[in-house]
Structure 1
Amino acid sequence: MSGIAILCSGQGKQSAAMFDLVASEPTAAPVFALAAGALGGRDPRDLAHQGGDIIHRNDVAQVLCCAAALAVWAAVGSSASRPITVAGYSAGEVPAWAVAGVMDASSAFNLVTRRAALMDEATREPSGLAAIIGLPRDVVDGICRAYGLDVAIVNGPLHLIVGGRAAGLRPALADATARGATRATVLPIHVASHTPALKAVSERLGRLVSETVTDARLPSDVRLVSGIDGASVRGVADGLVKLAAQVSTTIDWTACMDACRASRPARVLELGPGSALSRMMTEFEPGIPARSAADFRSVAGLRRWIEVAS
């Protein structure tokens, strides 16, 4: 095994500590400046420390998650040996394209800002996502049909994220609990991401990404994984179609983890707030060391851990 696999987190795990590792790193300063521009001049580090509901608001959360991934990558990316495999979870798929070298950080922030705005504009009534753990897909599909919801993300055979109107989420979770779910909880995400409710957003976003990423090429030593199905992005144009479609299409994260495993990396590193993806990867493939940047107390320590994969 050689190289490293990079997983870019989506929304949900923002916290006051999300930028602590690289808050003072000179190499991360340009990323924070771009993020501040996308947040109307507010420094993302200050917003994170402020905490509260604002850091989970869709338009803010997507920018914060993009900043978390790209700030760490700016600080440690030069330590990563090639080849690399890159996959992004939900909103994390946009910064994943920047980590892969297909777009620059400025384009990534522009895209997540516009993506969030389109999603908010299309959300005309209270909506969101919820996790249902411990029930098989066919049972969850039945619950979704009963309450007007859709499966948004497949994290495993018994770990599903569902989305739709808030009015349908809570009774659906009560039903799931009654059927034996080990966990059924609303997530701090207020749009029905990756469901047909946002189909119009995918169509508008498709036109936008084609304008944002022009004449781009995928580096030969990078494998970029599509969030929808775990397939490798072979051509930028086709990949952008999927990147736009994922806003309203179920994400098969299990397939993404399988694609990362198939690339046989020496290590897997999660960029972004929290450590949910690295934990899932460890459960999925215990034989490959997986850590989150959030696990480290210093950039130097993270660099040393990455360099072992060389």
Structure 2
Amino acid sequence: MTLAILCSGQGLQHPDMFALTANVPEADSLFKHASKLLGGRDPRDIVKTETYECLHQNRISQILCVLQALAAATALGNKVAGRVVIAGYSVGELAAWGVADIMSMADTLDLVARRAEVMDQSTNPGDGLLFVRGLSRETMDNLCADHHVDIAIVNPGDAFVLGGSRAALESLGLAAKSLRAKNVVEVPVEVASHTVRLTRASEKFRRSLSHIRLHFPPNADLRILSGIDGSPVIQAEAGLDKLAAQLSQTVLWTDCLQGCIEAGANAFLELGPGAALSDMVAGAYQGVSTRGLEDFKTLEGAGAWLAIHASA
């Protein structure tokens, strides 16, 4: 059997996001390293005490989300066995490289902080993201052209994340509602991620990636997918090019999930925070077992599920 590991993006940070990983001794060094990137504050305390607005600031949220994926992978350890394919959503793609042990987890955390910094440096005040569900890709392309907005992420089920100025997104949202879109929701992200507005961020981040020591190729039983096309990373440099380009190009998440299926995945585990990606899988593919780590009350419960669904 093949297990797909999904690394979550920003948006669902919450006070209990480290419930299963906070007290795992093997992950303690990760929390300590992250605290250095967060002004000396322990991320386990930050999520419990800070406001919603703080937890959704770009740099803090990216660090927290990647930390959760890395801590979860460390906590699960050898419970993840057999053939594995890994895909990450937005900043989760960087987490996927750390989970795959292609780069060290400490380097991964340093890079996510750098990623957020170059994004903030390159963004325009008032930029953001908007979620729209229920209109065709052709209709969305036309709306985006009319309102000077870009498609940032393509999700299953005619669901799209759009990036641009808040004013343009608000105008597009009204137009989408008039066309009977099922959902139009502002995304709590302060940058127009995965759009041409962040071209300079891609260039800066690629230079940062050039200084990282890689362990490539990964384990023979492991496959990692690129977010901008859903294809396996075959060559390290080409993979790094795509990892940087992802900041300013559309993420084809639908293709990533299909890539997992084509790799033989019949069980999906989302590392969190949240279970949005697991829910997408459940909606798009019948007969596939999919869970979010937060669905389990204990790591032992998650391990038991893995033993049944993914280790044979």
Query: Per the shorter chain, which TM-score range?
Result: over 0.9
The alpha carbon displacement at 1:266 in A equals: 3.8
CA distance in 2, matches of 1:219, 1:238: 18
1:168 aligned partner, one-letter code: A
Q: Which residue of 2 aligns with 1:140?
A: 140
RMSD, matched Cα: 1.2
Is 1:288 aligned with 2:267? no
Contact 2:102–2:214 at 8 Å: present in 1 too? no
Contact 2:130–2:162 at 8 Å: present in 1 too? yes
1:32-77 residue CA offsets vs partner (Å, 9 max, x unmatched): 1121112121111111112321110001000000111011111003
CA distance in 1, matches of 2:145, 2:276: 28
Matched residue of 1:248: which SS?
coil
1:141-160, aligned counterparts within 5 Å? Answer: 141-160=141-160
CA distance in 2, matches of 1:86, 1:217: 14
Matched residue of 1:192: which SS?
coil
Q: Which residue of 2 aligns with 1:21?
A: 20
Contact 2:103–2:215 at 8 Å: present in 1 too? no
CA 157–303 in structure 1, closer or farther in 2 if over 3 Å, else same: closer
CA distance in 1, matches of 2:75, 2:215: 27
Matched residue of 1:247: which SS?
coil
Greater mean alpha carbon deviation, residues 13-22 or residues 192-201: 13-22
The alpha carbon displacement at 1:21 in A equals: 1.5
Q: Which residue of 2 aligns with 1:228?
A: 228
Q: Which residue of 2 aligns with 1:181?
A: 181
1:114-162 residue CA offsets vs partner (Å, 9 max, x unmatched): 0000000111311111100000111111211222110000002510110
Q: How many residues align?
A: 309
Is 1:3 aligned with 2:2? yes
Contact 2:124–2:191 at 8 Å: present in 1 too? no
1:63-74, aligned counterparts within 5 Å? Answer: 63-74=63-74
Q: Which residue of 2 aligns with 1:44?
A: 43
1:253-310 residue CA offsets vs partner (Å, 9 max, x unmatched): 0100001111223421001211000010111212110100011110111111112221
CA distance in 1, matches of 2:241, 2:233: 11
CA distance in 2, matches of 1:77, 1:246: 28
Matched residue of 1:15: which SS?
coil
Q: Which residue of 1 aligns with 2:83?
A: 83
CA distance in 1, matches of 2:28, 2:173: 42
Q: Which residue of 2 aligns with 1:162?
A: 162
Contact 1:194–1:246 at 8 Å: present in 2 too? yes
1:142-291, aligned counterparts within 5 Å? Answer: 142-214=142-214, 216-291=216-291
CA distance in 2, matches of 1:266, 1:159: 23
2:42 aligned partner, one-letter code: D
Matched residue of 1:90: which SS?
coil
CA 288–215 in structure 1, closer or farther in 2 if over 3 Å, else same: closer
1:60-110 residue CA offsets vs partner (Å, 9 max, x unmatched): 000000111011111003101121100000010011001111011111011
CA 34–244 in structure 1, closer or farther in 2 if over 3 Å, else same: same
Contact 1:269–1:278 at 8 Å: present in 2 too? yes
- Unaligned 5+ segments in structure 2 are none
